[in-house]
């Protein structure tokens, strides 16, 4: 258990009572420990979100609710970001692309002047998350892989709609491919990774740079700089599946209606759900760089990752697929407790490093 955190058995029991018994039974002991920590901290994180929103000035009810959710998410993730590898250097910058200044954070695990780079696109349902909420994940990847990790703080929904965030992420790739030396990055050796919504953007950015680079003024050569794609527990176009029916609910914000609402906030029209940059299973997936796909076994999006891996393989790509059967969506955050987190991050880093170094 995490030092300094004393779990509340009553709160833990109350949370587990809302989860189907077969899912609880399928969780690893470490995953249940994490649920106990989450249950114990839930009220404090919720209050932190409400306090932040209350101090944010005169907001509309909708804006206040969104500000509270984002602050609650930051508070909840803060505990899990403590510790982890120490970087040789970390720098925050901005890159101008897609009409905005996109904040980036570069973690460098060594003092080498120039390193290959892996861009990391954070999850959070397109509406939550930032460079801080996923900081430990990025540092672990950098340390394990020996490359620089570049976090991208893309614009969030519902304030902006698809394809703005996608254009920003692809635009950062294009900028680094052409001007990586300005940041100590080898622009000819790049990869993209992301979790959840970030996995959607990972595949989308690769496809956009391959098929429609002109839409963002990108160089056609930028796609050739991509040596690997690493989408982790993302949504890739399934409308229905066994995992979507079996897993997720009000208790984790991953029920069928929750997933639908996330897409409604992200997409300007229902028709955009069928875009190949969103529904990747409908895209031409041939000719992509090597792809590492990881799934959580108790995740409603599990079957999306399974289908993506199989479709990529049928299209002739170099694919590695890993599934962790006893964990929930978002398990990438829990490396302070969960062995599966550290295993998948090290395996992903090794996969990328073999293509980048």
Residues recognised as catalytic: 196, 299, 329
Half-sphere exposure of 5 (CA within 13 A, CB side): 20
Question: What is the number of residues in the chain?
Answer: 357
The residue assigned the tokens 């959070």 is 124
Assess contact for 306 and 323: CB atoms under 8 A: yes
Radius of gyration of the chain (CA): 19
CA distances from 123 to 7, 42, 120, 151, 301 (A): 26, 20, 10, 11, 13
Assess contact for 328 and 31: CB atoms under 8 A: yes
Assess contact for 335 and 136: CB atoms under 8 A: yes
Tokens standing for residue 69? 């959710």
Assess contact for 162 and 276: CB atoms under 8 A: no
């Amino acid at each position: 258990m995490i030092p300094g955190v004393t779990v509340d058995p009553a709160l833990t029991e109350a949370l587990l009572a809302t989860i189907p018994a077969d899912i609880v039974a399928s969780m690893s002991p470490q995953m249940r420990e994490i649920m106990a920590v989450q249950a114990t901290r839930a009220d404090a994180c919720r209050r932190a979100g409400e306090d932040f929103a209350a101090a944010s000035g005169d907001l509309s009810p909708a804006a206040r609710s969104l500000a509270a959710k984002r602050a609650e998410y930051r508070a909840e993730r803060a505990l899990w970001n403590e510790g982890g590898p120490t970087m040789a250097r970390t720098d925050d910058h901005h890159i101008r692309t897609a009409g905005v200044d996109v904040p980036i954070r570069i973690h460098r695990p060594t003092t080498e002047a120039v390193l290959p780079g892996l861009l990391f696109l954070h999850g959070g349902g397109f509406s939550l998350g930032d460079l801080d909420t996923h900081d430990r994940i990025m540092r672990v990847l950098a340390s394990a892989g020996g490359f620089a990790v570049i976090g991208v703080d893309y614009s969030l929904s519902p304030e902006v709609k698809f394809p703005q965030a996608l254009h920003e992420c692809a635009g950062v790739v294009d900028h680094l491919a052409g001007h990586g030396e300005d940041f100590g990055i080898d622009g000819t050796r790049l990869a993209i990774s992301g979790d959840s919504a970030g996995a959607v953007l990972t595949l989308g950015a690769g496809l956009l740079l391959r098929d429609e680079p002109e839409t963002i003024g990108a160089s056609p050569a930028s796609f050739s700089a991509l040596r690997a794609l690493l989408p982790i527990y993302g949504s890739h176009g399934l409308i229905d599946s066994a995992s979507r029916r079996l897993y997720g609910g009000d208790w984790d914000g991953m029920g069928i209606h929750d997933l639908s609402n996330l897409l409604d906030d992200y997409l300007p029209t229902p028709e955009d759900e069928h875009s190949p940059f969103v529904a990747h299973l409908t895209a031409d997936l041939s000719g992509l760089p090597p792809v590492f796909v990881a799934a959580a076994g108790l995740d409603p999006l599990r079957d999306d990752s399974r289908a993506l891996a199989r479709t990529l393989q049928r299209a002739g790509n170099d694919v590695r697929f890993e599934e962790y059967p006893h964990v929930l969506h978002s398990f990438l955050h829990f490396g302070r407790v969960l062995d599966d987190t550290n295993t998948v991050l090290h395996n992903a880093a090794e996969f990328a490093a073999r293509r980048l170094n």
